Amino acid sequence: MSAARVYVRAAGAVTPAGTGVAALRRAAADPGWHPALGLPRPDAEPLPVAVCREFTTKDIVPPLLARRLDRPSRLLAVAAREALRAAGEPLPWAPERVGVTAGTWNSGTSALVEVLRAVFLTSPDEAPPAQFPSTVANAPASQLGILDKLGGPNITFAEKQVGGLRAIVEAARLLLARRADAVVACGVDEGDWLNAEGYARLRALAAPGRAGMVLGEGAGVLVLAGDPGPAPIAAVAGWGSASAPAPPHRYPADAAALAAACVQALARAGITASEVDLVVSAANGIPALAALELAAMDAVFAGHRPAALGVAERLGEGAAGGALRAVVAAMTVAGAVLPVWGCPAHLAAAGYPALLGPARVALVAGQAGGGSAVALVLTAV
């Protein structure tokens, strides 16, 4: 095992484009593809959430098992099973040596609402006991470990927008520490009206005449291992993280943390900034984040201008969105897809071009409200 990298052995996805990595590849290769937006809410117009309208567990999770899982757990189970099957049947690792790291922004919210509705509107005796296990953020990862008998470390990160990227970083750390032989690293979020309503009232969501983010529903999965195996997709060559003090609902005042995370990731990978071919943008439609990203990229790259790719406006923002950006980056450096979603306007205005050809080194970074910043470097193998 290299001291500086781990390998992407397989990927899985559930996105607004459909179920499976193939559906994501088709969408990424279509410049006209945009998600269907609209999450119903009880007393107003639908919310701008990119939802997985065609999602089903059919032929992937048995009906009796699917019935007892909440939606985030079903989303993750389907994406993870796609990745695990692609990694090999049977798995090339002992199940007790396969871990799970998950990032989530809102898993558990819907189940908790159902329990509290019963408690406060009727009585505690009416609270549905089957819902209790799903009221916590680590339910999807825990359920996945139980469903597929994965006995390695099982950890969930609730780190807002960078939760999915954090899960990949910590999976790599577990592998380098030999705590596991493989790790299912993932991000998962559901389309939940209460979560989205909160951001709508903060005026953080996109609306006619107002810039803002689109929240995303789905799951992105990378199966990571310390050895490349016969056909690795890509390598996670470096990673870094930093933080800056900020209120939970705001981004930091400057780009120092985001730039530091990127510099750490490149240094760990042994790659110079001028060798980066592609930046998978963290931009989500909120002007403050666009300004931070531009400042960080200019600090990291100086005069170099790698291609930049916008993803969040297509797949939505969230922990799942972060993991899916890493999935897109892995597929891109592997040559499995040439995404044509274009360069975000703030980076294009500063001279960053759109992706027009193959890329072998990709930087994927994220900045969360509250101050956390995480960055990954993925390379071709």
Q: Where are the domains of the chain?
A: 6-225, 234-379
Around Cβ 229, how many Cβ atoms within 10 Å? 18
CATH number of 6-225: 3.40.47.10
H-helix segments, 334-380: 345-348
pTM: 0.95
Return d(Cα 373, Cα 371) in angstroms, integer: 6
Q: Which fold has domain 234-379?
A: Peroxisomal Thiolase; Chain A, domain 1 (3.40.47)
pLDDT at 4: 63
The answer for residues whose C-beta is within 8 angstroms of residue 134's C-beta and 6 or more apart is 69, 70, 72, 73, 108, 111
Same-fold call for 6-225 versus 234-379:
yes
pLDDT 10s per residue in the chain (381 long)?
444 689 999 999 999 999 999 999 999 999 999 999 999 888 888 999 999 998 999 999 999 889 889 999 999 999 999 999 999 999 999 999 999 999 999 998 888 888 888 889 888 888 888 788 888 999 999 999 999 999 999 999 999 999 999 999 999 999 999 999 999 999 999 998 888 999 999 999 998 889 999 999 999 999 999 999 999 999 999 999 999 999 988 999 999 999 999 999 999 999 999 999 999 999 999 999 999 999 999 999 999 999 999 999 999 999 999 999 999 999 999 999 999 999 999 999 999 999 999 999 999 999 999 999 999 999 999
Tell me the three state secondary structure of residue 309: strand
Looking at residue 206, its amino acid is: A
Q: At what angle do helices 163-176 and 319-333 cross, to 10 degrees?
A: 60
Length of the chain: 381
Within 1-137, strands assigned E span 6-15, 18-19, 37-41, 44-50, 98-104
pLDDT at 134: 86
Return d(Cα 306, Cα 314) in angstroms, integer: 21
